[in-house]
Amino acid sequence: MSIVSFIDYLNLEKNYSPNTVLAYQNDLEAFQMFLKTEFSMEDLQEVHYTQIRTWIISLVEAGLANRTINRKVSSLNSYYKFLVKTEVMSHSPLSKHNALKVQKNVHVPFSEQEIEEVLFNAPADDFVSVRDKLIVELLYATGMRRTELINLNLSAVDFDQNQIKVLGKRNKERYIPLLPTVSKSLKTYMALRNELPNSGPSKALFLTEKGKAVYGTLVYRIVNSYFENASTKVKKSPHILRHSFATHLLNRGADLNAVKELLGHSSLAATQVYTHNNISELKKVYAKAHPRQTK
């Protein structure tokens, strides 16, 4: 069965995002090219694990990180599971494969003080500065992903209900409450947005000065530049703002399930990643509250 059938499955049945589907397709086509070059074969159904292992070794020798290699192998594994599911193959050549060990990345969130300092000192006197400040403010106030922010339409904002509709992974919708300060910033921005000469045709909430929808690298640059002088953190990205949102809520006693819903996670396990940052707060509570601590 061709790769095309699998891609159709990801698009139509799994409802994966275009970026995710493209990543799967690129990984599979790269492996197919490797097979053709190294083994003079193209049919993925004839593959044995020894050939996949040779591919993995070549990726390691090429200097790719284990995390990246695991992702590529995961694409291949999903393809073979699809072939087994559709009874094209009886078993997957990756059924006994063990993923490469990956060092766990610990994302350090911004402190509440760092975020307050950035938002307090940020200029907001023209379209670009108002937009940029709002992007930072909205990412932190809602915990939405960078892609979700980019895909926001004007219709997503509901000032009557004081909430915003976010389209998450696999087109799953969720509603996130808006703080009064964020609603105020949104109204200011939208008034300026409507004055842009080329804003009419676009339904996107966030636009460039030329009336085009903002894009991923622009949003990343905005967040990075805002925190460049305010924070000593190594990584300053939209994801760290999402991480900060979750961590600060949990630090202040928010229910884990509630944070899960706000983040748009499908499982609680994904949200529990953020709880490791709570340990310092837990130690403080423990030191103050445990009966043996005072003896």
Angle between helices 256-263 and 238-251 (to 10 degrees): 160
C-alpha–C-alpha distance, residues 76 and 82, integer Å: 10
Q: Which residues pair with 213 in a beta bridge?
A: 207
Name the pLDDT band for 238 (thresholds 50, 70, 90): very high
Residue 228, burial from CB neighbour count under 10 angstroms (0-12, 13-18, 19+)? exposed
In terms of pTM, does the model score above 0.75? no
**Mean of pLDDT values over 156-171:** 92
Shared-domain flag, residues 252 and 176 = yes
DSSP strand pairing (163-167 vs 173-177) = antiparallel
DSSP assignment string, 237-284: SHHHHHHHHHHHHHHTT--HHHHHHHHT-SSHHHHGGGGGGGHHHHHH
The confidence score (pLDDT) of residue 280 equals 55
* Pair (208, 275) in one structural domain: yes
pLDDT band of 187, cuts 50, 70, 90: very high
In a domain, residue 137? The reply is: yes
Over residues 127-150, mean pLDDT: 96
Residues 126 and 57 in one domain: no
Mean pLDDT taken over the chain:
88
Domain contains 207:
yes
Which token pair is 27?
Answer: 């990984």
134 in the same domain as 57 = no
Q: Count of domains in the chain?
A: 2
Owning domain of residue 58: 3-85
pLDDT confidence of residue 9: 92
Each residue's pLDDT tens digit, 204-226: 999 999 999 999 999 999 999 99
For residue 151, is pLDDT > 60?
yes
Place of tokens 């490797």: 34
Which pair of structure tokens corresponds to residue 183? 């609603």
270 pLDDT tier (thresholds 50, 70, 90): confident
Catalytic residue numbers? 145, 169, 239, 242, 265, 274
* Mean pLDDT (whole number) for 83-105: 88
